[in-house]
Structure formats: structure tokens, C-alpha cells
Structure 1
Amino acid sequence: MNGYPEFSKLDELQKKLRYQFEDIELLETALTHSSYANEHGLHASKSNQRLEFLGDTVLGLVVSEYLFMKYPFYPEGELTKIRAKVVSEPSLALAARRIDLGSFLLLGKGEENTGGRDRDSILADASESITGAIFMDSNYETAKEFLLKNFETIIVKAVARGSLFVDYKTILQEKLQKISREKLAYSVAKEEGPDHDKLFYVDVSIGGDIIGSGIGRNKKEAEQMAAKEALILMGGDYD
């Protein structure tokens, strides 16, 4: 054990994570920054670096699988760009801040005194080490469930981000006007989540046939993503 000073804080973090560790030492190691391990004469394996390495791999696989299944018409290049946005330092740090992960870390005095608890790089590494710890304590499916609870919103935002710069609805409308007199129709298939954190699922159809689907934080975003998927299905690069 690394000598985590407050077991009550470990309990608090597990509640925030909505995961109870069988092997609490894994959680303790995931919270131990290399600066703390060095200052306290701990073996390198007692810092979170190895779990960070593992968590990075698990996160990459989970996000890749999610994108592959959720967006069947997106080409490889598009999926790669979205994954890079999700599995990035800012996104991982954002996920860490949502549960105030920085306050639970064991840091060396130097890192503590220079604001390490709120540094993106340290928070991102801690997100990955927590992921690795959960994977080692359980299995892939449990780690996947944990990650999607914490990262699905980030994934959706990364997917929708492109719609802020390209008006896919207008492009689709102009493209279809050349080949059909049928009108495009956008409809909300379903809504998920509370009012302050809602996801909209929108289908775009022509002549009653659905030609694309999209997800967004609001109807406009979802409509843009549905139009983008329709364009991708029809062929072409619209980035």
C-alpha cells in the first residue's frame, strides 16, 4: 500500500466514480503521482504511470468501438479525427474535473505548490490511470460501461463539432435538389437525459425513407449531424 492518508476520501471518490473497488490498492496506486512516489521512496510501480499506460489503451479501444458501432457510415479518417479529439488531454482533464479528481491525488510538494491538482496533463493522466485500475479490478465490459458514462457526452460533442463550421443541411439540400423534387424532412427520433444535459436523436428523410441520423446537444446540432451522415452515405468527403 502507498499509505493513502484518508480512507474516507477513497470511499468518497468511489461514490463519485459509481464503482466500488475489490482491490483498493489499485485505486490508491491510480491516485499516486510519480512526484509523490519519488518523494516517499516508493517503487516506480507504485505510481500511476503503469495504470495510465493501460488506461490509455482501454480508453482508445472503447472509444473506437463506440464510434465504429454508432456511426456506421463514417469513413476511417473521420473516425480517427473524432477519436483523437476524445482521447485528448483537454477531454480527459474535463472528465477528471467533473468528479473533482484532482482533490484526491497524491502529489509531491513541488507539484502541489505549483498547481498540479488543476493541471490538464496531471488530470488527464489520472483519468487514464483510474480507467486502467477499474479494468484491472474488473473486466473490459465494466470499464467500458464506466467510460461511456463519463465520456459519451464528450464523444457526441466531438462528433458534432464539425457542424459549427460546415452547413451540412444546406449542402445536402442543394445536392438533392439536383436529383429529386422530394422535400427533406427532419424529425426527432428520441430524446435522452435530463433537461440540462439532453441528447437529441434526429433522422433526416426524403420521400419517407431515412437517409441519415445524427445526435446533438440540441435539435440544430443533431440535424446537422444527420445531414452530414446522409452526405457521407451518398459518397464524398465533407470536412
Structure 2
Amino acid sequence: MARPQGARGLTAFAERIGHRFADPELLETALTHPSAGSPARPDNQRLEFLGDRVLGLVIAEALLEAYPKEAEGGLAPRLNALVRREALAEIAEEIGLGPEIRLGRSESMSGGRRKAAILADAMEAVIAAVYLDGGFAAAREAVLGLWAPRIRAVRAAPVDAKTKAQEWAQARGLAPPVYTALSRTGPDHAPRFTVEAALQTGARAEGTAASKKAAEQAAAEALLAALREEKP
């Protein structure tokens, strides 16, 4: 069964994200996972779609202001680090979003409120709910209130695992790693992708994550770890 929500609980949670809702039903929808949705109770997938775009715009604008001399090549990795699923899930945990999510019984019993994918999707949906309820200014204020410490902390442009693996190969005169999707498992609302990263030398490693891109990063990280362990 879905976790019951009270008006008082929703108000307390809204305070943690820094927004007072004129239409609390938007927040209700944002906190309703597809496993608890029904024709009478819409789930948060559409809001998740919108929230992803709102978050990206707010963070992109904030980075332009925070790093006025940084080129696009330095801004893009920072943006990716700040809007990736893991960052969303971390912030969701910080504000206690997990206990507020409506989940179906099986998803709840399997620890759904602690799953990074569910937390990240709900966080995006909440951002969209704030945007629809109060406009872009309200969404910007809420996002910056939650992300500000991370924006200040991303001082040096982070290099992701795929870039590191490509640089490793190029430094040795090798072609970049090839990424091959091996499998996709799980339900549509919580898929798991497994990807293999392989070098022309024969070195290879696998990674599994909730999205294909994240699985590629995981595979690249595993490949780098394997390369570091190789004897000279």
C-alpha cells in the first residue's frame, strides 16, 4: 500500500524545500511513484520529465554566474556533475524525501524509498511541482537553496570516467574504449542496464546502473580500476 500523507506532513516537507504550495495537489503528484499511481491518482512521471529540464536550466544559469570566465568545455562537466542521478538522490536524502514518497506495496517492501533512481526521479518531480505552482523564480530559489553548497564546491571541472578512459587509451596510441550494451532488466519504472567497456588490447569490464549513460560510466570506472591493478 502507498504511504499515507497528511496535510501537516506535506507542509513540513514543503518547508524543507523552501516553498509554500498554493496547490498542494502538485506536491502530492510529485511524490506519487508509478507503482502507486492510478487513473484517479496521477503519478510523477510527467513532472519528472519537466523537472529535469527546469533543474538543468537553473543550474546552467547559476554556473554562468559563478564562473564568468569558464569556457563551455569547463561548464559542461560541472553541469553534468550537479544534475546527475547520484547528486539528485543525495539531495533527496538530505531533505528526507524518501519517507514522503507514495509507493506501491511491493516497491515499498523492496526498499524503494532508498533507491537512488526513485529518489532522483521524485526530486525532479518536486522541482517541477514548485515550477508549476510558483513559476520559474520560485523553482530557481528552491533549487539554488538546495544546490548552492555543491555549486560552490565544484571548483575544478570534474572529469568523468569515460573521459579518463579515453585519455588513458589515447596516451598509449590506442583507440577509445568501445561501449556495448549487454542487457536491460527490471520494470520500466526502475530499469537496470549493464554495459561493457572494452579496449583493443582485450581489456574489458562491465558496469550496471539505472540508465545506459550511467552504466557506461560505471563500466569505464571498472575498466580504469582493472587497468590500475595490472602489473607493469
Q: Where on the TM-score scale, by shorter chain, does this alignment land: which range?
A: 0.5 to 0.7
1:59-208 maps to which residues of 2 (within 5 A)? Answer: 59-160=55-156, 162=158
Q: Deviations over 1:40-60 (max 9, x none)?
A: x336x8101111111100000
Q: Which amino acid aligns with 1:72?
A: P
Match of 2:16 in 1: 16
- Determine the structure 1 residue equivalent to 2:220: none
Deviation at 1:155, TM superposition (A): 2.0
- Inter-CA distance 4–85: structure 2 relative to 1 (3 Å threshold): same
Equivalent residue letter for 1:55: G
- Tell me by how many angstroms 1:140 deviates: 0.6
Moved over 6 A (4+): none
The alpha-carbon deviation at position 16 of structure 1 amounts to: 1.6
CA distance in structure 2 between the aligned counterparts of 1:16 and 1:63, rounded to whole angstroms: 19
User: Aligned partners of 2:94, 2:149: CA distance in 1, in Å?
Assistant: 12
Counterpart of 2:30 in structure 1 is 30
Contact kept in structure 2, 1:91 and 1:154, CA below 8 Å: no
1:33-72 matches, within 5 Å, as 33-37=33-37, 41-42=38-39, 46-72=42-68
Counterpart of 2:154 in 1: which secondary structure? helix
- Number of residue pairs matched by the alignment: 158
Q: What is the rounded CA distance, in whole Å, between the counterparts of 2:21 and 2:78 in structure 1?
A: 31
Structure 1 residue 65: deviation in Å? 0.6
Contact 1:89 1:124 (C-alpha < 8 Å) held by counterparts: yes
Tell me: CA distance 1:154–1:21, structure 2 relative to 1, closer, same or farther (3 Å): same
TM-score, normalization: structure 1?
A: 0.62
Distance in 1, matches of 2:92 and 2:74, equals: 26
SS at match of 1:159: coil
Judge conservation of contact 1:4–1:28 (CA < 8 Å) in 2: no
Equivalent-residue separation in structure 2 for 1:106 and 1:133 (angstroms): 15
Distance change >3 Å, CA 103–CA 78, structure 1 → 2:
same
The answer to whether the 8 Å contact 2:18/2:145 transfers is no
Report the residue type matching 1:42 in the other structure.
P
Q: Could you tell me the TM-score, scaled by structure 2's length?
A: 0.64
Q: State the distance in 1 between where 2:49 and 2:114 align.
A: 21
Looking at structure 1, the residues matched to 30 and 158 of structure 2 have their Cα atoms a distance apart, in angstroms, of: 34
Tell me the amino acid that sits aligned with residue 127 of structure 1. M
